[in-house]
Amino acid sequence: MFLTLLGLIVGFVLLVKGADWLVDGATSIALNLGVSKIVVGLSVVAFGTSLPELVASLVSVIKGHSSVSISNVVGSNIANIAIALALSSLFVSINIKKNTIKAEMPFMIISTIVFTVLFIKDNSLTWNYGVVFISLLVIYLYYLITSAKNVVEEEFKDEVKYKTHIALLLIVVGIVGIWLGGDLTIGNVIKLAKSLGLSETFVGLTIVAIGTSLPEIVVSIISTLKNEADILVGNIVGSNIFNILFILGVSSLVGNLYVDVQNFTIDLIIMNLFVFILFFTSLLRKKIGKVEGIFFLTIYVFYIYQISIRK
């Protein structure tokens, strides 16, 4: 058991750090070659921050444990709101940008509903559903490119660039790190699930989901403490959109995705509930405060209890 937990921790660390190294290296090379910051921001960085979840999902599909893949995305989307956003709101009220409410949140709702309806239809996701997700992703990226140039330029104004040879080394090390990390993570997750008699879906919804969401959780809390909370909600909303459209889209093209529990409905209900509450609260109050944070955390604790006793 000790070695399994140790392997799981090492896997998470390699996943997260490998993604960081890959993004830093690729960003530096792109900027050194004169690629525009908007292209770098919407390709390398946007996709790179989803690498831990993507690699964990792809490895689980390849190893024949796709229930970890789909539950990882659902669990991560829930954790992003119930942990990253909720914990941050306990420190300070988080103002929400108008554009996030008008465009990005509705797109998150559409993505969540489309995923929920398609999954409930067949209790699985197949390659043709993957095509639907990727198509929606292209539309979302087009929106970002045409409307978010100023935001991306601002985020990259102080970007540190590495020399090309160092950047190439970072890319190689990053790729090796995320692949080894994904393999270690999924391998030890399966061992842990079997040794404790837990379903792969439960482990994916909790341990894997929170583990791969740690970067978002840590960044959210740190940005709040640094009085940069105004960009927090947009980042979380964007992460939830990419998790569904990018990760599930690519993973379902590799193999059919399903879950190994009968009553997965509660997980889908909680994910949709959090998305709609976040949207309507933002629409009415233009901010997320302690009351909303406590509500999300309370529901999350209740949710974890419910799935822990699920057969």
Q: What are the average pLDDT values for consecutive 10-residue runs of the chain, which has 311 residues?
A: 78 76 74 61 58 78 82 90 88 80 89 94 90 93 68 50 79 79 76 76 80 70 66 78 91 86 85 94 87 92 86 57
Spans of all domains in the chain? 2-308
The whole-number pLDDT of residue 229 equals 60
Q: Which candidate, 57, 77, 273, 284, places its Cα nearest to that of 183?
A: 57
d(CA 309, CA 304): 9
Q: Which amino acid is at 281?
A: T
What are the residues whose beta carbons fall under 8 Å from the beta carbon of 37, sequence distance 6 or more? 31, 152, 153, 156, 159
CB atoms within 10 A of CB 213: 25
pLDDT score for 288? 87
What pLDDT does 296 receive? 94
pLDDT of residue 89: 87
**For position 39, what pLDDT does the model report?**
54
Region of 298 on the Ramachandran plot (φ > 0 left; ψ -120 to 50 alpha; else beta): alpha
- Please answer whether residues 297 and 86 qualify as being in contact, where contact means their C-beta atoms are separated by less than 8 angstroms: yes
Given this model, what pLDDT does residue 230 score? 58
- Per-residue pLDDT at 123: 87
The Cα–Cα gap between 85 and 77 comes to 11
* pLDDT at site 94: 82
CATH homologous superfamily of 2-308 equals: NCX, central ion-binding region (1.20.1420.30)
Q: What is the pLDDT of residue 161?
A: 66
- Model-level pTM? 0.79
C-alpha distance from residue 292 to each of 93, 104, 280 (Å): 10, 20, 11
DSSP for residue 139: H
Return the DSSP state at 102. Answer: I
Give bridge partners of residue 288 from the DSSP assignment.
94
- C-beta atoms surrounding 310 within 10 Å: 17
